Every structure is written in structure tokens, then in C-alpha cells.
Amino acid sequence: MSENLKRAESLFNRIMNQTNDSASVLNKTPPQKLNIEKTIENTLIQVKKTDHVLPYCWTIWYHSRNKKPKEEEDSNNIVDSYLQTTTELNFIDFNGNNLKNFASLEQLLLILSNIKKTFDLSIGTEFLIFKTGINPVWEDPINAKGGRWIFRFNRNSVEDPIQSRKRVCIIWERLVLKTLTGSLIPDIYSSDIQSLLNTDICGLVLSIRKDEDILSIWNANIPSSKKTANIKSRRILVDSILRIIREADAILSGDESIVYTDNGSTQRVKNVSFEYRIHSDNENTSSHHHNRKCVNKYRNNNNHIKTESIKESK
């Protein structure tokens, strides 16, 4: 397990093992359990009737790998830097309302217009876009049995690092737009497969490192009756992301058409390396189960909830 995730574990453990120390007001008041359905319902209230509603409600998190955690009284207990420095971003919508979660294309475009382009972000910056109710850590109950596709864009292997960062910017924006609008999986696949994969996706992560930019897409590995389903779905997912990369390359090369189609090959694209990792590969068994309980304490629903299901119930 990475040092960041170990520290995230410790924070959840600290929350669960709250003491009666009168000097710590925060420890006396446990966080409220998140009511996901209510949260999505409140988010939909802020969506205009003329807006294009997204299939799911989303939340954007910001993390700085360079930011140091607040000092602990016990110098040996500096173990929660990840969640201390990970913040849910808030935005102001067209009506002046505070926008913590979003559920429409118009809200998404507004948010993207208020965030710096990826090539202007400082080293150590991370953006994490997850379905509302899913925490951006692999210990979350939905993430725990899943994994992630990781795409690395190494700037040391290219002639123009600035152009490489601009390339990643286009790829990231297109990946966000297609994933959140439910159009990531091409129409060459059946609607059932598209629905399954869109449901399986948990979130997207952008990480700006010193020598590389990293994009990753997290999935839950929802159980299937077919043994080969998960393997097949991973291939379809990686192919869909490679299509976006090829689209970005077509844009940068000045092609008249920005829609790139291919034969479904997962052959390598230029200056990109990719791999799939199972979250549990980093698992520390002795603490993993306790940590999942800690995450689960602050949720009341472990399912991906579609916005249309909330609208229909109103």
C-alpha cells in the first residue's frame, strides 16, 4: 500500500477510535453519515429544467501532494496527510448558488471553465472526480474490490514537454466529458455493455508529477455471471480510452475530423504506457477490513445511484 493510502487508513482509524479528551472538540462530534439519495436529490434541485442531466451525480476533489498535514500533538502520529489535504471543491453556479456536487452537462462545463488547464497546474496537483457518495480512496466499499486503468505520459521521453502537457489536457477534458455524459463506450458495443461499463466506473483521477502526467479511471468490478466478463470489460474500457488519446492526437496534428474511429485495437499509442491494477494488490489484510468499516460508517448506501432514479421517485 502506498504511503498516502496508509495515512488515509490512519485517519479513518483515528475517527473511529475517538477519545473523550476534552481538549479535542472534533473528536467529540463524529461526522454525519452521508445520505446519498438526499444529496443527489438536493443537487438535482439546482439543475434547470432545460439542462442536460448527467446519468450520475459527481463530486470533484482536489489534493496537493506537496501540502503538508497539520502538525499532530504526537509527532509519531503524522499518518493522515492524504485526507487532510484532500478537499471537495465548491463552485458558484449561474444563479449564485454554491455548487458542491453537480448533475448536469451545463454545470460540468461551468466547472471546467473555472479550473486551470492541466498544463498550468503545479507539480503535485491531483484532481479526483468520483460519483457522489464514493470516496476517492480504494478502501471505499465500492472501490475495494475494483481496480484502475493507469495511463502515464512521460515528459522525459518527448522532445517538447510543453506540447506533451497540452496533449494530456485535451485527453483529460475529453475523457471527463465522455465519461460523465455516459458516452465513453462507443456505439459499436451493445447498450447492455455500455450500461454495465458506465455503471462500473467509479471515478477519474488526474495527477501532475515532476516527470509525467498520470490519468486513471477507477472501476468497481461489479460481479458478473460470466467468468470472462470482467476481463472483456477491461479490454473494452482501455480501448475506449485509447480512442480518446487517438482523437486528441488527431486534433493536435490538425486533422479536419476530430472523431477518430479504429478497429478496436489496443495497440500502443505514441508516448503512452498503460496498465491495469487491482486495488487489493496493495492490501494490508490486518488493517483492510477495519478500514473498510471506517469508510462504510459514513455511508448509508453502497450502490451507484442514477440521477434518473431519483427524478422518477419524486
What is the tens place of the pLDDT at every residue in 251-293?
998 876 665 555 555 556 889 999 999 988 765 533 443 344 4
- Sketch the domain layout of the chain as residue ranges: 3-313
Asked if 169 and 153 count as a contact pair (C-beta separation under 8 A), the reply is no
Q: Which three cell numbers stand for residue 25?
A: 472538540
Q: Which three cell numbers stand for residue 298?
A: 459514513
Asked if 154 and 271 count as a contact pair (C-beta separation under 8 A), the reply is yes
Q: Which three cell numbers stand for residue 214?
A: 498520470
Average pLDDT over residues 202-224: 93
Lowest mean per-residue pLDDT among 32-36, 163-167, 177-181, 223-227: 223-227
Q: Which pLDDT score is estimated for 279?
A: 86
pTM for this structure? 0.77
Question: Could you tell me which of 271, 150, 268, 146 has the C-alpha nearest to residue 207?
Answer: 150
Question: Could you tell me which of 65, 80, 67, 77 has the C-alpha nearest to residue 11?
Answer: 80
Integer distance in angstroms from the first to the last C-alpha of the chain? 42
Looking from the CA of 131 toward its CB, the CA atoms found within 13 Å total: 28
Query: 3-state SS of the chain: helix, strand, coil percent to 5?
Result: 40, 20, 40
Percent over 70 (pLDDT), the chain:
69
Which of 3.40.50.1820, 3.40.50.300, 3.30.760.10, 3.40.50.2300 would CATH assign to domain 3-313?
Answer: 3.30.760.10
